Amino acid sequence: MTREKVKTLLIDLDPQGASTHSLGLEVDTTEPDLWLAALGGTGAINKLIKTSSEGIDVAIATEGLFQAELFLSPRVGREFALKRALASVDTRYDAVLIDTPPYLGLLTLNALSAAGWAFIPVSCEFLAVYGLKYLLDAIETVKATINPSLKILGYALTIYDRRENMSFEVESAIKKSLGNDVFNTVIRVSTKIKRAPSAGVSIFSFNPKGRGSEDFSALTKEVISRIFSGVSDER
C-alpha cells in the first residue's frame, strides 16, 4: 500500500480468496499446497506474495487454505503457525494486514495470535451486532492465553445507510457500548464499492472521486493515526 506511504503486506487467509480476487489477482490452483507449506514453517509464504496492478503486495489465497485447518489441527503449536511463517517477511513492511475467514476457526485463531491489533468491521445490521459478542469473547480468550499484547484497534461501521433507521440504531448502540473505540468514519452504502471487486481493482481506482473512496481514505488515515501514534491504552 503506497497511497499513505506505508509499505503494507495484505495476507489473504480466507479460503474464499475475496481479497485476492478483489485486487485482480488469481487464487493459486497450480500450487495449492503453498499455504500448507508456509504454515508448516518452510518459509513458503514468500512464494505467495504477488503485487497487484495498483502496487499492493498480497500473500494470495490458494486452494490449500480449504485444507489448512485439518492440516494444522494435529500439530503442536498449531495456533502459532502463521506467526512463525510471518517471521521472514515482517521486516520488509511497515504493516501487515490479515484478512481472516468469516468464522472463528484455526485460521482466525492464528491471525489473532500473530496480530498486535484487531480491526473489527461491523455492518449496520442486527445479526452482525449480535455476532460481535462471540468475536469479542474469542479475542479476550486469546489475550488471556496466547497473545496478551493483542489489542482492539477499533470498530468500523460499514454498509451505513443514512436512509435506514437501522444504521442509526446500530451506530448509537455501538458507540454507547464501545465509545472511543469506534472509528469516526463510517463506510456508507455504495454500489461502486460493491462493483469494484468485479473489476479487480480497489475502490480508489474504480471510483476515485466517489464517496466510497472518500470514506475509505478517511478511515485509512484514522487507522494509520491510531497505529503509529503510540496508542497504548488497553482496549
Mean pLDDT throughout 213-230?
90
Q: How far is CA 6 from CA 71, 87, 97, 98, in A?
A: 34, 19, 12, 15
Mean pLDDT throughout 202-223?
95
pLDDT for the residue numbered 88? 83
Q: What is the mean pLDDT of the chain?
A: 91
Mean pLDDT throughout 101-120?
94
Mean pLDDT throughout 214-224?
95
DSSP 178-218: HGGGB-S---B--HHHHHHHHHTS-HHHHSTTSHHHHHHHH
DSSP bridge pairs for 160: 188
Cβ proximity of 156 and 124 under 8 Å:
no
Share of the chain above pLDDT 70, in %: 95
pLDDT for the residue numbered 90? 67
Q: Is pLDDT above 50 for 128?
A: yes
Q: What is the pLDDT of residues 72-100, one digit of tens each?
A: 999 999 999 999 999 888 678 988 999 99
Could you give all domains of the chain from N- to C-terminal order, each with its CATH number?
A: 1-115 (3.40.50.300)
The residue whose grid cell reads 499446497 is 33
Q: Assign 4 a pLDDT band (cuts: 50, 70, 90).
A: low
Q: Please name which of 78, 144, 79 lies closest in space to residue 114, comparing C-alpha atoms.
A: 79
Q: Give the CA dihedral 137, 138, 139, 140, nearest 10 degrees.
A: 50
Please state, in angstroms and rounded to a whole number, the distance separating the CA atoms of residues 107 and 15: 10
Q: Is pLDDT above 90 for 102?
A: no
Grid coordinates of 220: 485509512
The residue whose grid cell reads 513492511 is 93
Q: Who has greater pLDDT, 92 or 68?
A: 68
- Put simply, whether the predicted model's pTM sits higher than 0.95 gets the answer no
Q: Please name which of 140, 150, 38 lies closest in space to residue 85, comparing C-alpha atoms.
A: 38
Q: What is the pLDDT of residues 164-184, one digit of tens each?
A: 999 999 899 899 889 899 999
